[in-house]
Structure formats: C-alpha cells, structure tokens
C-alpha cells in the first residue's frame, strides 16, 4: 500500500508496540502530526517544553522497560530535547526521539528553524539518523528501536526532513531480523570466565556485591538474591540499583558512595572481593580511585565491554547480559557462610543508626529526612518515586527503602535538575495502576513546572512532593563545608507553590509540621488528578554522610552522635 513518510512513521510505531508518545508540534514535523489523526491507537501527550518530552519518554522507559518515544520539530524543538537525551544516555535508558527537519533542498542554507541536530547529538546518542530517502524510513525506524533496546540500552534520534514526511512510497514493514555489522552485543560468558569467578567467590572471606542499574534492566533480581543468599554475601546498592534486592532483606547493606551508608563504604574498603554487577564504578561511587577497595579482588559483569577496566582494574571482567551470565554462574555456586564478616558490618550499621537524625531531632523542626521517611511509612513503601536532583534525591535514597526494581527513578549520571516531575508523568503513563510520587526540590521543580499544565490537560495522576528549603540545597551544603559559608547564588526566591498549583486547577496543600504529613498523603490520595504538596522544611539541613569530591571512600564527613562535636 502507498503511504506518506509521515504515515510510515506512525505505522512503524504501532508495529513497535508504542502506545504513547510525548511531544510538541511545529512546522517541520507537522505532516507527522497530521498523520496522527489517523492513528488514534497511539496517544499523544502535549508537553509544554520539549525537554519535558524527552524526560517523560525516559520515565516511561525506566518504569516499563519498554522504549519511550519523544517527538519535536526542527531547530529549537530539537535542541530542547538535548538535555533529556543526554540524561537517558548516561543512565542507559531506551528512548527514540523523532525530530522534524527542513526539506532536503534547504538543508545547509540556514533555513528557518534549521539545525544540525544529528551533529549535535552524536556524543549523546547510541546512534542517530538523518533520513534522506523515504524508502529507507521504515527500516531505519525498526533499526532505531532495535539499537535503543538491545545491548546497553540508550537513546536513538531520527531526524526526518519535511519533504520525506510528505513523500509517498509503497509501504511494506520490514519483517527480517536486524543485522548490523559491528553491533553484536555479547550475551554469554565463557566457561573459563565462569570458573575464574567461582574460584574467587569460593576463596573470599569478606566479599561484597555491588548491585547496579543493570540488575533491573536485565531482569536479574531473582538471580542476585539467589547469589547473595547461597553464598551469604552482603549487597551494596548504587543509586540506580535501589530495589534490585529488597532493601529490607537482611543482606542489604544500603547505598554506597558519596552519600551512601557508612557501613556500606567501610565494607567496600575492607572487602577482599568485590562482585560488581551492572554498575560502572563512577566517581560518586568510588571516591579516590587510588585508594578504592585496595585489598580486594574484583569481578565485574556488565553488558558494555567498554566499561570493563575503564575506571577500576578488575581480576575477572565479563561482558555479557547480566541475567544470562548469572544463570551460567549459579548452578556451580556452593553454599558459604561469612558470619564474622556480616557481624562486623552489623556493628558499622549500629554505629550509623546512632547517628541517624531521625533518632535525635528537635520536635519543632520539619526535616527533609522526616518527610521522606513518613512518605515511605504512609505509602507503605509501595509507591514509584521519581526524584529530581539535590539533597532531596539523596534523602529519598536514604529514607525511602524500595522492595521492588524500577520503583526509584532518578537522574544518576547526568544529575539533571528538572528531571523528576516530567519523568514522573512518563512513569505514570507507563504504569497507570501504580501510585507515583514526584519528589522534587524548590529549585529543580521550577525548571520544568510548566508541565503542571500537561498533567492537568492529560488528566494524569501524579503526586508532587516539593521539599522547599528556600535554597539550592546541595550547592549550599558544599558552600557550607568547603567555601566558608559564602552562600553565593543559592538562596532562592520562590513563588507561592500552593497558589501556583491552584492557578493550574491542581489541588495543593502546604505542610509545616511532621504531624501534617499523614494528612497530606490522605489529601493526595483523595483526588483523582495530580496533587501538589509543599513541605516547608529546615533551611540548612545537611545530608550525611558525605565523601568530599576526590577523597578516600572511607574518609566521610559523618553526623556526630548525640553529645559529640563535629570534627
């Protein structure tokens, strides 16, 4: 059958199982928007800024494991996607972004809203395309989805000139398997690699598993739990690995790294074996690489071979699909006990509990840690939380334990302020039956708060928790510790968030005391649409522990115990 390029786009999206796309129309993409009127099976969500579209597609992808789709016009529409594309690239989130481009004859002439978006996004996509022939379009779209979801997932961009969208051709969906020269992700480990890994595990006295985002993406949570339980190995989680093993599991030690649990960081530094699963040893996890876990052997399993030995030299490096490699490893794994090692970790955890701010706080203050912990309590730990970036992000990681994979979504690698709220909208579209909370700060929320209109127009239910301390809190914390309390450009003037929400027709509530938190959760649940809760918290709260940038992982700034003085 003869179809236009625009209709081919929609046909191919249907064949890829796409049920929702997030976007914003404009001249160069208008033919595809017109074609949408004939493909009502796919819902279009009108964002208020294209950055919101890429974050929504990302949140959808993280929550569902499927490919998220964003669409925008040429020029500024395309460039507004860039931050969201880079966020997806750093966190290995599978999204496909479709952009309009000026007609082929105008490319290179500085035509109205022309921009070389493929050139701009080369460093932040797995692959990108400028379509130059309508007959190639269907195969390109199929190939793009294949690249986005296979191997190490990530973003792919397709730039389609307007005349290609208007051109017609005979359409036949490409049914053949995608075969790309040079792109064949390794799936399995060799027998020798499995034997070497098993030998290291057998001989270890103080092993630690480092569980990362790859556990969730490969669906290997069950295999992780079997490994930990059979060999009695404590499990440390990365920020994006939270929920890979239930955080109430007795072998879960907590989150590692700059703001991780002290017991976790001590265990890593004292370990004689690290088993790194689907994580990449980034600087926020390792601290000073020269002193990182100096006495341990290291096993590293990751789908991306370029990550093996990139930051940390390892003894056994395995490039492969984590679930498949774990299934190769487990049949010959022997039961073990590490009672003394686990007892030592328990001592470190008890010391950390004594320093926990929840155990010795003034009743007249509302702290961010209290808000997050109470939200966890009153949602029974079952919500999908989508965090922005800053102090509230680290407090969420510390005080909202997750029991399921893909229920804590946040921008880890790029650290994108403004991610939380639009990504929460995307997550809710992907998981409509789940309770979704966007946990944001007063700074980051203002970067993408225009999506309040999207939530209202689309009648989507997202609960927005703003932790408002009147500061760019994490930057202010660094200024307090390292810049002699020179709070340059961190105090913030904020709008009245309650009135702002109400201007969009969104119910809102302000919370100033701990006693109101339960009421606020009930208030949020009592409304069908989105709800905004502003929690007015202590202005100068500190997130402890903290490993200063470049410091040794064990050299943490820690909260003093009651009666102690900060060193």
- According to the model, what pLDDT value does residue 517 have? 96
Residues 6+ apart with CB under 8 A from 13: 21, 39, 42, 69, 141
Helix 322-329, helix 191-203: angle, nearest 10: 70
DSSP string, 405-469: TT-EEE--SS--TT-HHHHHHHHHHH-TTS-EEEEEEHHHHHHHGGGHHHHHHTT---EEEEEE-
- Residue 364: the pLDDT is 78
pLDDT tens profile 382-406: 999 999 999 999 999 999 999 999 9
Contact 533, 523 (CB under 8 A): yes
Please report the pLDDT score of residue 331 as a whole number.
Answer: 97
Among 142, 162, 242, 298, the active-site one is 162
Q: How far apart are CA 168 and CA 431, in angstroms?
A: 36
Concerning whether 113 is annotated as a catalytic residue, the answer is: yes
What is the pTM for the complete model shown?
Answer: 0.97
428 labelled catalytic: no
User: Is pLDDT at 567 greater than 70 in this prediction?
Assistant: no
386 in the Ramachandran plot: left (φ > 0), alpha (ψ -120 to 50) or beta?
beta
Of residues 11, 16, 50, 247, which has the active-site annotation? Answer: 50
What whole-number percentage of the chain has pLDDT above 90?
Answer: 96
**Active-site residue, from 113, 336, 403, 516:** 113
Percent of the chain whose pLDDT exceeds 70: 99
Q: Give per-residue pLDDT as tens, 428-468.
A: 999 999 999 999 999 999 999 999 999 999 999 999 999 99
Q: Interior CA angle at 368 toward 363 and 372, to 5°?
A: 105
Q: What is the pLDDT of residue 561?
A: 84
For 100, phi then psi, to 5°, come to -80, 155
Q: Scanning the structure block, which residue is given the tokens 């102090």?
A: 391
Residue with tokens 């390109």: 140
Q: Do domains 191-348 and 368-536 have the same CATH topology?
A: yes
**562, pLDDT greater than 80:** no
Quick one: average pLDDT of 279-294? Answer: 97
Q: Rounded to an integer, what distance in angstroms lies between the CA atom of residue 359 and that of residue 49?
A: 42
Average pLDDT over residues 100-126: 98
Helix H or strand E segment including 237: strand 235-237
Mean residue pLDDT across the chain: 96
What are the counts of helices (DSSP H) followed by strands (DSSP E) for the chain?
23, 20
- The residue from 112, 347, 502, 561 that is catalytic is 112
| Tens digits of residue pLDDT in 302-337 | 999 999 999 999 999 999 999 999 999 999 999 999
CA angle in degrees (0–180, nearest 5) for 23-145-178: 155
Q: How far apart are the first and last CA of the chain?
A: 75
CATH class, domain 191-348, is alpha beta
pLDDT grade, residue 564 (50/70/90)? confident
Contact 171, 135 (CB under 8 A): no
Helix (H) or strand (E) holding 380: none
**What per-residue confidence (pLDDT) applies to 359?**
78
The residue assigned the tokens 């397709």 is: 158
Taking the C-alpha atoms of residue 91 and residue 80, their distance in angstroms, rounded to an integer, is 19
Q: Confidence class of residue 154 from pLDDT cuts 50, 70 and 90?
A: very high
Evaluate whether 134 touches 5 at the Cβ level (below 8 Å): yes
pLDDT in tens, 187-210: 999 999 999 999 999 999 999 999
Nearest by Cα to 532 from 452, 431, 432, 443? 452
d(Cα 355, Cα 323) in Å, to the nearest integer?
Answer: 37
The token pair that represents 165 in the structure block? 């969208």
Give the pLDDT score at 358.
86
The CATH code that applies to domain 368-536 is 3.40.50.970
Q: Which fold has domain 2-170?
A: Rossmann fold (3.40.50)
Q: Over 70: is that where the pLDDT of 566 sits?
A: no
The catalytic position among 394, 408, 447, 474 is 474
Residue boundaries of the structural domains of the chain: 2-170, 191-348, 368-536
Q: Which two tokens stand for residue 288?
A: 């000073």
What is the CB-side half-sphere exposure of residue 109 using CA atoms within 13 A? 9
Secondary structure class of 352 (helix, strand, coil) = helix
pLDDT of residue 360: 67
pLDDT greater than 80 at residue 563: no
Does residue 36 carry a catalytic annotation? no
Q: Are the C-beta atoms of residues 444 and 417 closer than 8 Å to each other?
A: yes
Cis ω for the linkage preceding 545 (within 30 of 0) = yes
Whether 258 is catalytic: no
- Residue 363 pLDDT > 80, yes or no? no
In b/e form, how buried is each residue of 335-374, taking b as 16+ CB within 10 angstroms? Answer: eeebeebbebbeebbeebeebbbeeeeeeeebbbbbbbbb
Instruction: Based on the residue annotation, tell me whether 162 is a catalytic residue of this protein.
Output: yes
Average pLDDT over residues 490-500: 97
Distance between CA 41 and CA 55 in Å, rounded? 22
């Amino acid at each position: 059958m003869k179809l236009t390029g625009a209709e081919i786009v929609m046909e191919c999206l249907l064949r890829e199982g796409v049920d929702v796309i997030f976007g914003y129309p404009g001249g160069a993409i208008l033919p595809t928007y017109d074609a949408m009127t004939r493909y009502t099976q796919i819902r279009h969500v009108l964002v208020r800024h294209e950055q919101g579209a890429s974050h929504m597609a990302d949140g959808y992808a993280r929550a569902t494991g499927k490919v998220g789709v964003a669409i925008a016009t040429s020029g500024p529409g395309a460039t507004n996607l860039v931050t969201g594309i880079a966020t997806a690239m750093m966190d290995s989130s599978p999204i496909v972004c479709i952009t309009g481009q000026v007609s082929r004859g105008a490319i290179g002439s500085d035509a109205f809203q022309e921009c070389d978006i493929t050139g701009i996004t080369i460093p932040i996509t797995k692959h990108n395309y400028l379509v130059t022939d309508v007959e190639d379009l269907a195969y390109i779209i199929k190939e793009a989805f294949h690249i986005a979801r296979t191997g190490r997932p990530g973003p792919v961009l397709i730039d389609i000139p307007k005349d290609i969208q208007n051109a017609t051709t005979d359409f036949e969906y490409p049914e053949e398997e995608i075969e790309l020269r040079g792109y064949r992700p390794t799936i399995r480990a060799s027998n020798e690699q499995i034997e070497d890994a098993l030998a290291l595990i057998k001989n270890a006295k103080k092993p630690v598993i480092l569980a990362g985002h790859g556990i969730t993406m490969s669906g290997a949570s069950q295999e992780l739990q079997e490994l930990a339980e059979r060999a009695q190995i404590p499990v440390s989680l990365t920020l994006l690995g939270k929920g890979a093993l239930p955080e109430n599991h007795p072998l879960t030690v907590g989150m590692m790294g700059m703001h991780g649990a002290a017991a976790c960081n001590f265990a890593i530094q004292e370990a004689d074996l690290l088993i790194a699963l689907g994580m990449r040893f980034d600087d926020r996890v390792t601290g000073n690489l020269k002193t990182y876990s100096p006495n341990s052997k290291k096993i590293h399993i990751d789908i991306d071979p370029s990550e093996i030995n990139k930051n940390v030299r390892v003894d056994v490096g395995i490039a492969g699909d984590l679930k498949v490699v774990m299934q190769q490893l487990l049949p010959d794994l022997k039961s073990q006990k590490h009672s003394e090692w686990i007892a030592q970790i328990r001592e470190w955890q008890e010391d950390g509990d004594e320093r926990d701010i929840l155990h010795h706080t003034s009743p007249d203050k509302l702290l961010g840690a209290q808000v997050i912990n109470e939200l966890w309590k009153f949602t029974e730990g079952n919500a999908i939380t989508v965090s922005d970036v800053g102090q509230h992000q680290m407090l969420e990681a510390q005080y909202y334990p997750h029991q399921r994979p893909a229920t804590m979504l946040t921008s880890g690698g790029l650290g994108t302020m403004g991610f939380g709220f639009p990504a929460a909208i995307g997550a809710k579209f992907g998981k409509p039956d789940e309770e979704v909370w966007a946990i944001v700060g007063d700074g980051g929320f203002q970067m993408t708060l225009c999506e309040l209109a999207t939530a209202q127009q689309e009648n989507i239910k997202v609960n927005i928790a703003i932790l408002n301390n009147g500061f760019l809190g994490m930057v202010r914390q660094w200024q307090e510790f390292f810049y002699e309390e020179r709070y340059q450009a961190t105090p913030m003037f904020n709008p009245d968030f309650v009135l702002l929400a109400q201007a969009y027709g969104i119910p809102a509530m302000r919370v100033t005391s701990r006693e109101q938190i339960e009421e606020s959760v009930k208030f949020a649940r009592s409304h069908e649409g989105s709800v905004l809760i502003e929690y007015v918290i202590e202005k100068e709260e500190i997130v402890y522990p903290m490993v200063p940038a470049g410091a040794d992982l064990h050299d943490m700034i820690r909260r003093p115990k009651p009666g102690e003085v900060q060193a």
